[in-house]
Amino acid sequence: MDNSKPTKRIIIGSDHAGYSLKEHIISSLSDKGFIIIDIGTHSKQSCDYPVFASKLCDRLNKGSADLGILCCGTGIGMSIAANKIKGIRAAACSDIYSAKYTRLHNDANVLCLGARVIGEGLADELVNIFISTEFEGGKHKRRVDMISALEQ
């Protein structure tokens, strides 16, 4: 990690299906020096993913972190729930291209991953790309602003 830049704060959450992947990502990012905020769940006991999507997004909107990561079985439920919250642009990604361009062109602030869809190795790659890619702006800012206007 580049020590000349401030450390990014990453908020992460999961339901029971994404718990193991969440724990793996926390370990990987902590080893790289990122500041991690774990909002749960804290076990494999069945729970409701919208609770954790809401909790993460509310904290992200309050400035507790720079970016968020949500894990569930497919990543889809978390992304649907997260995108109901004003100010959130969540993307379920299972390939490198999507993880890069959801940040570069869509300024996504939450990455949603499916523990039953991808393995830990691919998850590490997706997280690293998502976190290290900056929003390109330009014509894409106009489009992101148009998306934000839909929330009104």
Quote the tokens at residue 132.
Answer: 């290290």
Predicted local distance difference test score (pLDDT) of residue 39: 98
Type of residue numbered 15: D
The strand pairing partners of 90, in sequence order, are 110
What are the φ/ψ torsions at residue 120 (nearest 5 degrees)?
A: -65, -40
What's the pTM? 0.95
How far apart (Å, rounded) are the C-alpha atoms in residues 147 and 152? 10
The answer to whether residue 5 scores a pLDDT higher than 80 is no
Enumerate domains of the chain plus CATH numbers: 9-150 (3.40.1400.10)
| Mean predicted confidence (pLDDT) in 80-98 | 98
123-140 confidence digits (pLDDT tens): 999 999 999 999 999 999
Residues with Cβ within 8 Å of 10's Cβ and at least 6 positions away in sequence, in order, are 29, 34, 35, 36, 37, 65, 66, 67, 68, 69, 131
Q: Which tops the pLDDT comparison, 4 or 22?
A: 22
Known catalytic residues?
Answer: 72, 105
- Cβ atoms of 55 and 39 closer than 8 Å: yes
